[in-house]
Amino acid sequence: MIKIRSSEGEEFTAYLSLPPAGKGPGLVLLQEIFGVNAHMRSVADSYAARGFVVACPDLFWRQEPGVQLTDKTDQEWQRAFELYQGLDEAKAVDDAKATLFHLRQHPACTGKVGAVGFCLGGKLAYLMATRSDVDCSVGYYGVGIESALTEAAHISHPLMLHIAERDKFCPPEAQAQIHQTLDTHPLVTLHDYPGQDHAFARAGGEHFNNEAAELANRRTLEFFLRHLGGEYVKRSPEAI
């Protein structure tokens, strides 16, 4: 774990994972609603194994520092939604930006830094594209992006969004709004996954789909290769 200074001057933690070569482009990994748990740390380690310097900030630190939940029990789901509903989104984006700044100063980072997020983090990845100078961003099944589409005019770096067709947290009308606003944006790439549900790329999750996850992860890695550079280790993409 590393400590990062927030915009208010307080410190919060982030899980840091370094690449085998000791140097590479940075990635701000933005958590799901379950905190920086074993799954998110595994995702960070998988990206690091491919050549990235990865930092996954604790976005719930103002409510409950170090929370780690799973998607296996109703009680944990309830607590996860409580934390999600209690999150100050603007401050969460500020924390992601502070993590971005920290990574750019890290001796192992080449200076280029992207962002990738899942669920809650998927929307934050979109907001990083609209509110920061992150070099590129990827969002997996982001929740609530349709409520922030007025910010699309501020996107100045490449953005990729993965959209699950059957995602109850991003229903058809929301998906239609996202496409209507972003389809023609020159810096935005949208990918739809027919028949897939929310969190289709979460290994071990209820809706995990190996084929869809592999496709989304391969697209993401190729996107980062184009926009961040670096020498990436080739591994099976579904394992992210």
Q: Is residue 235 scored above 60 in pLDDT?
A: no
Q: Which residues are catalytic?
A: 167, 198
- pLDDT tens readout for residues 13-52: 999 999 999 999 999 999 999 999 999 999 999 999 999 9
- Beta strand 24-30 with 2-5 is unpaired
Our separate counts of H helices and E strands in the chain read 6, 8
3-state helix, strand and coil shares in percent for the chain, rounded to the nearest 5: 40, 20, 40
When divided into structural domains, the chain yields a total of 1
- For residue 229, what pLDDT band results from cuts at 50, 70 and 90? confident
pLDDT the model gives residue 152:
97
Q: Which of 101-105's residues contact partners 24+ apart within 8 Å by CB, and which partners? A: 102/2, 102/4, 102/5, 102/14, 102/55, 103/26, 103/27, 103/28, 103/53, 103/55, 104/26
Q: Is residue 234 scored above 90 in pLDDT?
A: no
CB-based burial, 17-27: b 16+ in 10 Å, e otherwise: bbbeeeebbbb
Is residue 162 classed as helix, strand or coil in its secondary structure?
Answer: strand
Residue 77: which CATH number?
3.40.50.1820
Residue 167 and residue 221: Cα distance in Å, rounded? 23
Q: Is residue 124 scored above 60 in pLDDT?
A: yes
Q: Which strands, in side-by-side order, build the sheet including 11-17?
A: 2-5, 11-17, 53-57, 24-30, 109-118, 136-140, 159-164, 188-193
Residue 57 and residue 64: Cα distance in Å, rounded? 13
What is the domain extent for residue 27? 2-239
- For residue 238, what pLDDT band results from cuts at 50, 70 and 90? low
Is residue 45 classed as helix, strand or coil in its secondary structure?
Answer: helix
pLDDT the model gives residue 230:
67
- pLDDT tens readout for residues 158-195: 999 999 999 999 999 999 999 999 999 999 999 999 99
| Phi and psi angles of residue 193, each rounded to the nearest 5 degrees, phi first | -125, 90
- pLDDT tens readout for residues 46-89: 999 999 999 999 999 999 999 999 999 999 999 999 999 999 99
Contacts of 193 (CB under 8 A, 6+ apart): 162, 163, 164, 165, 200, 212, 215, 216
pLDDT the model gives residue 42:
97
> Residue 224 burial by CB count (10 A; 0-12/13-18/19+): exposed, middle or buried?
buried
